[in-house]
Structure 1
Amino acid sequence: MDNMKSLVMRAQKGDLSAFEQLVLAYQSRIYSLALNLTSNADDAQDLSQEVFIRAYSALGTFRLEADFGTWLHRIAVNTWINMQRKHKKVTYISLDEPVHNGESDMSREVAAATERPDELYEEKEFREQVRTVLKELTDEHRTVLVLREVYGYSYDEVAQMLNCTLGTVKSRLNRAKQAFKDKLTSMSEQLGNIPAKGRQVSKYEQSP
């Protein structure tokens, strides 16, 4: 932590090599978030590059008592939202991509309760439905779900990243969870191949 703070301080004074070290330290985490938001390797690469370009330009505004990684995530989210508004591009999050927590990769696939082939197939079909539903969510709902439910940021942290109030985050997250649940339930009932009632929809269905 002290080393990162030192690198940030040096970078703020114009030390390009220090900023390059920061990029190396955080690029995998930023790329992972970008890939979750765009679900496209090329777009994720472009978004990641843009994040570090903007971060370098805004280094003077970074407060040393804040977490640099969280600051970069905020830039990533805001940059992506702006890109979405500009290009009106519909994207979704891949549940098959691992979450990078800095130490290891954690899978966020919907866990199978058994390894029976028929139930494994059912889980695969269920994940496909989840992907489809996520694709249909609004950018606001998708973003708040990713930050809170996938990356585990607190409500306060999400509010800071999205530049909105705590009440707005909680309200948006509740609506996002309900929209997710309603769409998934409706789709499951229409297809009839996966029971909709009584099934836990990962942690997106949990209460805050």
Structure 2
Amino acid sequence: MNGEDALPALLDGIGQGDESAFRRLYEQTKSRVFTLALRYVRNTEDAEEITQDVFIDVFRSAQAFRGESGVLTWLYRITVNKSLDFQKRQKRQKRFAFLTSLFDSAAGHPMSQPTEPYHPGVALEDQERAAVLHRAIDKLPEKQRTVYILTRIEGLTNPEAASILTTSVGAVESLQQRALANLRKDLTALYDELNNP
């Protein structure tokens, strides 16, 4: 990850209460944080909420940064954790809404699944195929999904992903292989289902 040279100094400034340093760090890194969050939630409003949460965390914990990894690596780690937490909260809310609808007829229908939004980072022209791919990625186990997003979609190297996830390069490679195997299997089944209704 390039462009990190000035970031530690900005983080030092934030730790000392320098608001202009915070604004500069935010301007230089917000698009990376937002884009990564969007890979998980694929909804602009949700990604913006996660981005705000990430930078609130950065402002509050800048003094705790020890420089054991790069600033961008640290930001990516916070973003991954916030995105996963956000998704878990949403699942809990959906389960609660579903249970409420079962026991309270006045509650109406359970929350419907969100429609697949257009994602500006998706290069596929066929949005239906993109939606199929997104559904398959969403079904991956958490660690496999995160490794796939970081390395295959964000384009980070395996060592960079390992640093973000505080694991070994070998573990990242293993998760990557399992993710690809699961996607191949799942996408074959999904495409068969689409083509043979």
Q: TM-score, normalised by structure 2?
A: 0.74
- 2:41–2:87 CA contact under 8 A, matched in 1: no
Distance 1:93 1:68 in 2: 32
Change (3 A) 1:49 1:158: same
Partner secondary structure for residue 14 of structure 1: coil
- 1:7–1:22 CA contact under 8 A, matched in 2: yes
- Structure 1, unpaired ranges of 5+: 99-107, 111-119, 194-208
Partner residue of 2:192 out of 183, 189, 207 = 189
Residue type matched to 2:136 in 1?
Answer: V
Partner secondary structure for residue 58 of structure 1: helix
1:168 corresponds in structure 2 to 171
CA shift at 1:192, angstroms?
A: 2.6
CA shift at 1:83, angstroms?
A: 3.0
Partner residue of 2:136 out of 106, 117, 133 = 133
2:123 corresponds in structure 1 to 109
Partner secondary structure for residue 163 of structure 1: coil
User: Identity of counterpart residues, as a percentage?
Assistant: 29
Partner residue of 2:37 out of 25, 34, 42 = 34
Greater fraction helix: 2
Residue-pair matches, total: 173
* Aligned Cα root-mean-square deviation (Å): 2.8
Deviation track 1:57-111 (CA, whole Å, cap 9, x = no partner) reads 221232447432222111100122233334436999978322xxxxxxxxx423x
Distance 1:7 1:125 in 2: 43
Change (3 A) 1:7 1:96: same
Correspondence list, 1:25-174, <5 A:
25-64=28-67, 66-88=69-91, 96-98=119-121, 108-110=122-124, 123-174=126-177
Deviation track 1:113-172 (CA, whole Å, cap 9, x = no partner) reads xxxxxxx7xx44433322332233333322211101011222222122223333322222
Distance 2:128 2:17 in 1: 51
